[in-house]
């Protein structure tokens, strides 16, 4: 070793250390002072973080010393993921929230720990629930505190949230749409859609806020800004309830349909023609060439790629078809094009009433029906299948780290994503979380997740639903 060129020696060590995993790197740091200094190089730990997670939230590093922050971030996040993967007693806390006096119809995170940009030093999260008891309630899931409760109104039927603008949106059984300030629960505005059941979709375009409402009469009504000003209305399902309503990742397209009629086709609508409708012209709309839509999802990594589960022509089976949506402009007209990309059959029970479809950002689809869960590629390859519940699945939550299924058997099943060198992306089944006793409860009805917690609603036999919150800490 050339003691006249210590920098060269350090550079060589750092280069060699790039071949080590985190455990070996920690062991190497105890060999001697020089190895310790080389193994603490921030670049090594930053490289390891980005290799494992692709993106890390630099804001959470705070005022930590530069030669410690990346290492601490890596070790803390890995430790948290190990807890979430193993689900052992002591690795998480479970709290029960009581207060609603009727059925819970919606559950959302008001403030969560983003899976894309997790904050490992602050795990505070709040959730909001809506009930047929006519109230909206906000809860701190770490300390079990009720933060606010809205005044009682007609039974609520729907709930969504716009986290960016901290706005909660509800629809009640009379079709009254209301917005609430998420931090205080103060009512902001209201609009009557005159529909006993509404499906809600909120989105923003160039910082302009919009809400599209699907009604039980088959129409879409689009509202704008905090005053809920009506912008447009269009009929899409002809007297059947709009209960499928999605917006594409680029916000250029809205897909609307109904699960209640096997002869109707879903529609795709050019969003701009709803939010800024031209005078004396109908909104730009086109039918998706399938019938009997049961579930649909836009692919997160594509601007306008749509996957639809629908009735098949073969013995009443179900099929999954993927479409690309685009717009074609000529000198005289503008029209929508819906082009089929892939289509494959599904082995689903035709009597299945609830089908859940979600898409992961790596272009694979998660499908749940009855007691089963499937993972498909967009080309129809079956990547994984699970049948671990003893009763039907009632809700699923999919993010970049895991999949959680809620079931009427009163359990939550937790599965984590794994990238296999030979077989690509797949899921590993990990553990289950229990929601209580069947003597008091009927099963889980909704489930939501952020990076470090899982929240689900449990249907009570006495008619009073409760919330269960499972929080993992680093």
What digits encode the pLDDT tens for the residues 122-148? 667 899 999 999 999 999 998 889 999
Q: Tell me whether strands 136-140 and 126-131 are parallel, antiparallel or unpaired.
A: antiparallel
* pLDDT tens readout for residues 38-59: 777 777 778 888 888 877 766 6
Tell me which residue range forms the domain holding 74.
6-85
For 330-370, the pLDDT digits (tens) are 878 888 999 999 999 998 765 666 899 999 877 799 999 99
Answer whether residue 79 is part of any domain: yes
Q: What is the CATH number of the domain that holds 19?
A: 1.20.1280
357 belongs to a structural domain: no
User: Would the pTM of this model clear 0.85, i.e. be above it?
Assistant: yes
Is the per-residue pLDDT at 14 higher than 80?
no
Rounded average pLDDT over 236-263 = 93
Is residue 71, in this structure, part of any structural domain at all? yes
Q: Residue 65: inside a domain, yes or no? A: yes
Write out the H or E segment, with its range, that includes residue 459: strand 453-460
Q: Is residue 70 part of a domain?
A: yes
The domain tally of the chain equals: 1
pLDDT tens digits, residue range 430-456?
999 988 888 888 999 999 999 889 999
Q: Is residue 101 part of a domain?
A: no
Dihedral angle, C-alpha 13, 15, 21, 25, nearest 10 °: 20
Average pLDDT over residues 184-202: 93
* Whether the predicted pLDDT of 64 surpasses 90: no
Beta bridge partners of 446: 457
Would you say residue 41 lies in a domain?
yes
DSSP designation for 259 = S
Contacts of 330 (CB under 8 A, 6+ apart): none
With contact defined as beta carbons under 8 Å apart, do 106 and 159 qualify?
Answer: yes
Residue 57 in any domain: the answer is yes
Burial letters for 332-354: b for 16+ Cβ neighbours within 10 Å, e otherwise?
A: eeeebebeeeeebebebeeeeee
Segment 250-271 mean pLDDT = 93
Q: In the beta sheet, which residues pair with residue 328?
A: 335
């Amino acid at each position: 070793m050339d003691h006249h060129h210590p920098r060269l020696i350090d550079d060589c060590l750092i280069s060699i250390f790039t071949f080590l995993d985190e455990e070996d790197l920690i062991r190497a740091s105890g060999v001697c002072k020089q190895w310790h200094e080389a193994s603490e190089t921030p670049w090594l730990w930053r490289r390891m973080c980005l290799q494992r997670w692709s993106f890390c939230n630099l804001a959470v590093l705070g005022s930590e010393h530069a030669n410690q922050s990346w290492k601490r971030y890596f070790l803390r996040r890995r430790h948290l993921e190990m807890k979430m993967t193993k689900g052992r007693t002591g690795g998480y806390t479970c709290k029960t929230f009581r207060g609603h006096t009727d059925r819970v119809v919606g559950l959302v995170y008001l403030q969560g720990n983003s899976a894309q940009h997790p904050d490992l030093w602050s795990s505070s999260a709040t959730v909001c629930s809506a009930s047929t008891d006519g109230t909206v309630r906000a809860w701190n899931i770490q300390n079990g505190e009720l933060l606010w409760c809205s005044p009682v109104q007609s039974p609520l039927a729907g709930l969504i949230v716009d986290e960016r603008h901290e706005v909660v949106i509800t629809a009640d059984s009379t079709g009254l749409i209301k917005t609430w300030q998420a931090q205080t629960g103060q009512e902001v505005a209201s609009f009557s859609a005159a529909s006993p059941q509404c499906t809600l979709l909120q989105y923003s375009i160039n910082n302009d806020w919009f809400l599209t409402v699907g009604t039980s009469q088959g129409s879409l009504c689009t509202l704008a800004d905090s005053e809920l000003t009506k912008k447009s209305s269009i009929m899409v399902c002809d007297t059947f309830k709009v209960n499928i309503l999605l917006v594409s990742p680029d916000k250029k397209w809205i897909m609307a349909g109904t699960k209640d009629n096997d002869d109707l086709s879903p529609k795709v609508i050019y969003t701009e023609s709803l939010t800024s409708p031209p005078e004396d012209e109908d909104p730009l709309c086109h039918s998706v060439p399938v019938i009997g839509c049961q579930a649909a999802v836009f692919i997160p990594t594509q601007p306008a790629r749509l996957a639809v589960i629908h009735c098949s022509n073969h013995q009443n089976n179900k099929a999954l078809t993927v479409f690309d949506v685009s717009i074609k402009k000529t000198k005289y007209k503008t029209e929508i094009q819906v082009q089929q990309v892939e289509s494959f059959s599904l082995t689903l029970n035709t009597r299945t009433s609830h089908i859940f479809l979600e898409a992961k950002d790596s272009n694979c689809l998660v499908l749940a029906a009855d007691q089963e869960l499937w993972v498909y590629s967009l080309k129809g390859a079956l990547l994984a299948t699970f049948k671990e519940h003893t009763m039907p699945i009632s809700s699923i939550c999919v993010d970049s780290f895991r999949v959680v299924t809620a079931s009427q058997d009163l359990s939550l099943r937790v599965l984590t994503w794994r990238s296999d060198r030979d077989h690509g992306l797949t899921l590993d089944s990990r553990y289950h979380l229990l929601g209580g006793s069947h003597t008091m409860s009927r099963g889980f009805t909704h489930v939501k997740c952020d990076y470090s917690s899982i929240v689900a609603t449990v249907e009570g036999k006495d008619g009073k639903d409760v919330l269960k919150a499972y929080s993992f800490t680093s």
